[in-house]
Amino acid sequence: MREDYEVIIGLEVHAELATHTKIYCNCTTEFGSDPNTHCCPICTGMPGTLPVLNEKVVEYAVKAGLATNCEIARFSKQDRKNYFYPDLPKAYQISQYDLPLCKDGHMDVTVEGKQGNYKKRIGITRIHIEEDAAKLIHDAYTGDTLVDMNRCAVPLIEIVSEPDMRSAEEAVAYMQTLKSILEYLEVSDCKMQEGSLRCDVNLSVRKKGETKFGTRTETKNLNSFRAIYNLIEFEANRQIEELEKGGVIYQETRRFDDVKGIGYAMRSKEDANDYRYFPEPDLAPIVLSEEYIADIQNHLPEMPHIKKERYVQMYELPEYDAEQLTNSKKIANFFEETITHWNNPKAIANWIMGDIFRKLNEAEIEIDACPIKPKDMAKLVELLDKGVISSKIAKQVFEEMFESGKSPEKIVEEKGLVQISDESAIKEIVTKVVENNPQSVVDYKAGKDRALGFLVGQVMKETKGKANPKMVNEMLLEILNQS
Amino acid sequence: MSVSKEEVKYIARLSKLYLTEEELEKNTHDLSSIIDFANELSSICVDNVKPTAHILDIQNVFRKDEVEPSYEREKILQNAPTKDAGCITVPKVVE
Ligand SMILES: [Zn+2]
């Protein structure tokens, strides 16, 4: 992007709440069932039905508000947002207009900038509750559109940021922090591929030094960090090029095809923004007491940035490790459970960030589906720390644990991988190796240190990696230096 | 007329309604008299009245987050004029 321009970004994030039932009826919110099997007269907008608000929706939205430093409304109401589209059987969406549940919050995020990391505070304008719409599927064969109303009235919170972000990196950092907070709160499962966390990007550009905002566009429904990043780079460049050739930016709604890397304007809906909001007459106002809010505040779980600091203090982990382990609550839980079984936080952190992350990536699974359980992970580190197995064998056992889900003791026992720490046994092999490699002994004496490494390697080969390497080293040196 | 023909056309378009010239005349007339009637409320002084969020004096009507069985799909779809593969079908809208 050109250095003489500045890009202004605000995000509107929709998160499906992890309630059991929909927002106004007792239908399940379960994902992935047959179309139109989680529906009733209320969520399909039949005349004469009466919606009743799910109490968990209020609780979860207040949690999200408190965790993002918002002011919680003592008095709040719901409103009808009217628009006519087949994804909305009632022809209106129940949302919140002028009195949202939460407002005026902020989040502090760590941005991975091109010149290193920095911290930035991003303002949150508001968080309100609303209902999701039906899923529309295009049938290429018949040319019709199919309407599946299972998702109708699944509860959402919409989190609207201030236009505080100035780069794709900042927007991604904001989104990652928000996702991690919502996961820690357990108010949303945040599965971006399934659409339970998605984001609209409002973007405009202006010449540096200019104080007025340019005209902004809104790109809808981005559902991966990569798509957000790519769209911002694409759209900022598009707007700058347009302005540079004397064109104008239209305030429009756009889509982004992440596979092709191209954004395009949606068919013009010039009237679509006239939603004619009015208060929802079927739903009572929400009035929250000080006790209610204080109770939620007092039961908020430890937030990622606090946990990170605790890891640095308590476990003496480097900042980087602490960050890696606390980004996701599931990983933090795995780590914390593992260290209750064997107290070597740094070694366990290394295994998680190295081998476990690598295997999870390869298998494309999350840590809660990891075949290695925390107790077994702890046991492996314990076996290593106690010198029962060598570090080379430990890697081998780890691979086997991931494949079979067996405990490390069992694998070590079955395959006879116990490290040889018996002094006389090792001594015998060391002596044999020295006798069989006279040239290496000469090389060593001539000051070629590499010869020692070769001899250690030979001993390990003889013992199939099971000899205690520290003992091998000591014994070799002893023999070489006396002969 | 307190409502113009243009406004009625605009409202009709938002609701995906297509009015004939005759219907437009009639609706403009009818809507105007409804608005005039409602506008009588504007003559009342409401300086010291709290804005109404709900006409009944109620608040916090909630339900527990407990799943109950949904309807049979056949029942949900029985009023749909066209359906296919367990879904209601509508003319193509997905771009
Ligand atoms: Zn329902």
Report the DSSP beta bridge partners of residue A54. Answer: B63
Asked if the Cβ–Cβ distance from A39 to B15 is below 8 Å, we say: no
ipTM of the predicted structure?
0.85
Which residue in A has a C-alpha nearest to residue B63's C-alpha? A54
Is the predicted pLDDT of residue A270 greater than 60, yes or no? no
Looking at residue B95, what is its pLDDT?
A: 56
Domains along the sequence of chain A with CATH: 11-206+274-292 (no CATH), 302-415 (no CATH), 423-482 (1.10.10.410)
Residues A293-331 pLDDT 10s: 999 999 999 999 899 999 999 999 998 899 999 988 899
Nearest to A394 by CA among A362, A347, A358: A347
- B56 interfaces chain A, CB cutoff of 8 Å: yes
Looking at residue A389, what is its pLDDT?
A: 85
- B58 interfaces chain A, CB cutoff of 8 Å: yes
Is the predicted pLDDT of residue A420 greater than 80, yes or no? no
The DSSP secondary structure of A197-257, one letter per residue, reads EEEEEEEEEEETT--S----EEEEEE-SHHHHHHHHHHHHHHHHHHHHTT------EEEEE
Q: Chain A interface, mutation test: which of B17, B57, B66, B76, most A Cβ atoms within 10 Å?
A: B76
Name the helix (H) or strand (E) containing A131: strand A116-131
Asked if the Cβ–Cβ distance from B53 to A85 is below 8 Å, we say: no
The rounded distance, in Å, linking the Cα atoms of A426 and A209 is 73
What the block records as the tokens of A346 is 């740094």
Asked if A53 and A251 count as a contact pair (C-beta separation under 8 A), the reply is no
- Among A83, A142, A284, the residue with its CB nearest the CB of B60 is A284
Which one-letter amino acid corresponds to residue A48? G
Looking at residue A181, what is its pLDDT?
A: 95
Residues A230-254 pLDDT 10s: 999 999 999 999 999 999 998 888 9
Which residues lie at CB < 5 A from ion ligand 1? A 25, 27, 40, 42-43
- Among A40, A53, A138, the residue with its CB nearest the CB of B70 is A40
Residues A75-106 pLDDT 10s: 999 999 998 889 999 999 999 999 999 999 99
User: What is the C-alpha end-to-end distance of chain B, expressed in Å?
Assistant: 40
Is the predicted pLDDT of residue A422 greater than 80, yes or no? no
Residues A161-196 pLDDT 10s: 999 999 999 999 999 999 999 999 999 999 888 889
Average pLDDT, chain A: 92
Is the predicted pLDDT of residue A71 greater than 70, yes or no? yes
Asked whether the whole model's pTM tops 0.90, one would answer no
Nearest to A472 by CA among A433, A440, A426: A426
Q: Chain A interface, mutation test: which of B50, B71, B72, B74, most A Cβ atoms within 10 Å?
A: B71
Residues of chain B with pLDDT under 50: none
Average pLDDT over residues A115-144: 93
Residue with tokens 């340019």: A214
pLDDT confidence band for A467 (50 / 70 / 90): confident
- Among B71, B88, B95, the residue with its CB nearest the CB of A147 is B88
Which one-letter amino acid corresponds to residue A82? N
User: Which letter does DSSP use for residue A300 in this model?
Assistant: P
Report the DSSP beta bridge partners of residue A404. Answer: none
- B5-42 folds as Histone, subunit A (1.10.20)
Asked if the Cβ–Cβ distance from B76 to A149 is below 8 Å, we say: yes
For A237, residues 6+ apart whose C-beta sits below 8 A from its C-beta are: A1
Nearest to A327 by CA among A346, A343, A307: A307
For A32, residues 6+ apart whose C-beta sits below 8 A from its C-beta are: none
Which one-letter amino acid corresponds to residue B31? L
Nearest to A237 by CA among A304, A167, A289, A170: A167
Residues 22..41 of A with a Cβ closer than 8 Å to B: which? Answer: 26-28, 34-41
Domain ranges of chain B: 5-42
Asked if the Cβ–Cβ distance from B86 to A39 is below 8 Å, we say: no
For A427, residues 6+ apart whose C-beta sits below 8 A from its C-beta are: A475
Chain A CB contacts of B71 below 8 Å: 39-41
